[in-house]
Structure 1
Amino acid sequence: MQLRFGLTLVLSVMSLTGCSTLAFNNGTLDYKDTTALEPLKYPEGAMVRPAAPLYPAPTVDALAIEHAPNLENKRGNRFAMPRPDLQSGDETSDAAQNTADLSHPQLVTDGNLNPLLKIDGNSATIWQYTLATLSSLNHSIVGQSKNRYEVTVKIDQQIYVLRLTAAGSSNNLAVFNADNSFADKEKAAELLTQIYQNWPA
């Protein structure tokens, strides 16, 4: 009788606390130990139609992997999303106000048909969102200006400068070459479209 009661008690406690509290290794971090497989090899002389992968694995820069967030629990044996940082009252309300004042980016062009990304709101907050978006796109950041909203990125062995300029409450994000001339319109439009589509707000 006591054994049955004890077993029932243990099972009920485990079901109430849940497996996540006990932090058993459930295999959610196994992806970190994967290895690259060689491409499929066909026998010589075989009549094989060339095949392109439907979902090719992206090439991830080593710098992006190094700065990737650590998504595991304290014991390091299961996947866990990080908890949000709670700030003090004034800082939280200021951040919420800055975020609330932001408009969603708009793809526009200037008088010379150079593509721009127009965003209304606080320049500092917009710049933080821009850097976060670039990080999520895994573009290599080569350098960043300390005095103004400007970052140098390397895309397909080409150096580009992303610059945010403010005019009142409106801000324009433009893409330049290393010599401060406007970047090729197609390349600039492609990068700004990626930022537009992955904008976090």
Structure 2
Amino acid sequence: MMQLRFGLMLSLAAMSLAGCSSMGISNGSLKYKKAPEMGEIKYPEGALVRPASPLYPAPVVEPMAIEHAPNFANSKGNRFALPRPEQQQANTDSTESVEDVAVGRPKLLTDGNGNPLLNVSGDPATIWQYALATLSSLNQNVVAKSKNAYEVTVKNDKQVYVLRMTSVGASNNIAIFNADSSFADKSKSSELLTQIYQNWPA
């Protein structure tokens, strides 16, 4: 009798757990999507405040970045859930190469002379759109854009710099130049490229 009662209790517990899992009851794991936007800190009038700029400013998310963002929600859209890995297709006859379309994660590198570079693999046009979106999220002062090349001019600390991307196959390098096409100061280049790397939208 005791064994029957214990077995019944275990069965009920298993059924209740299975029921909660299948119903996908909300556990609050997606509340961050509805978090209110906080404004800048406001100090009382007359207060002596030391000027400060944010080390990692909150990025302004571009629509393109939202469109390409992964959706970590369950089928009911009420709980956080990591996607299950997809099974490898057995038929490889119609396999298409997506390396030229997909965009890889950026990598901070240096050339043979120690000049900082940001290397990203994938489609150049898509990568350049990501780079422009990141500059916008960093509130960089863009003063000119080239219509015929992957090149944009920004003004930073009263100094004009040219952000230029060169492509060889699927490898793309973004570097910072002065207005006269010489490499910009290494510390300035490293600072800006690091910010782009840290705020890359995809």
TM-score normalised to structure 2 length? 0.56
Specify whether residues 174 and 52 from structure 1 end up closer, same or farther in structure 2 by C-alpha distance, changes over 3 A only. Answer: same
Shift of residue 101, structure 1, vs aligned partner? 1.8
Specify whether residues 29 and 102 from structure 1 end up closer, same or farther in structure 2 by C-alpha distance, changes over 3 A only. Answer: closer
Q: Deviations over 1:80-135 (max 9, x none)?
A: xxx969xxxxxxxxxxx689621100000001000000111000000000000000
Q: 1:152 is matched with which residue?
A: 153
1:68-83 equivalence runs, <5 A: none
Shift of residue 40, structure 1, vs aligned partner? 3.7
In 1: Cα distance, 2:189 partner to 2:100 partner: 26
TM-score normalised to structure 1 length? 0.56
In 1: Cα distance, 2:178 partner to 2:120 partner: 22
Q: What letter corresponds to residue 200 of structure 2 in structure 1?
A: W
In 2: Cα distance, 1:53 partner to 1:158 partner: 21
In 2: Cα distance, 1:168 partner to 1:100 partner: 12
Unpaired runs of 5+ residues, structure 1, are 1-27, 42-49, 60-64, 70-82, 86-96
Q: Using CA pairs below 8 Å that are at least 6 residues apart, which structure has the higher relative contact order?
A: 2
Specify whether residues 29 and 109 from structure 1 end up closer, same or farther in structure 2 by C-alpha distance, changes over 3 A only. Answer: closer
Unpaired runs of 5+ residues, structure 2, are 1-35, 69-97
Length, aligned pairs only: 136
Q: 2:135 is matched with which residue?
A: 134
Q: 1:124 is matched with which residue?
A: 125
| 1:179 equivalenced with 2:180 (yes/no) | yes
Q: Deviations over 1:4-59 (max 9, x none)?
A: xxxxxxxxxxxxxxxxxxxxxxxx7996xx9x665444xxxxxxxx8648987x99
In 2: Cα distance, 1:29 partner to 1:200 partner: 19
Helix, strand or coil for the counterpart of 1:148? coil
Specify whether residues 30 and 177 from structure 1 end up closer, same or farther in structure 2 by C-alpha distance, changes over 3 A only. Answer: closer
Specify whether residues 139 and 124 from structure 1 end up closer, same or farther in structure 2 by C-alpha distance, changes over 3 A only. Answer: same
In 2: Cα distance, 1:54 partner to 1:141 partner: 22
Of Structure 1 and Structure 2, the greater helix share is in: 1
In 1: Cα distance, 2:148 partner to 2:184 partner: 22
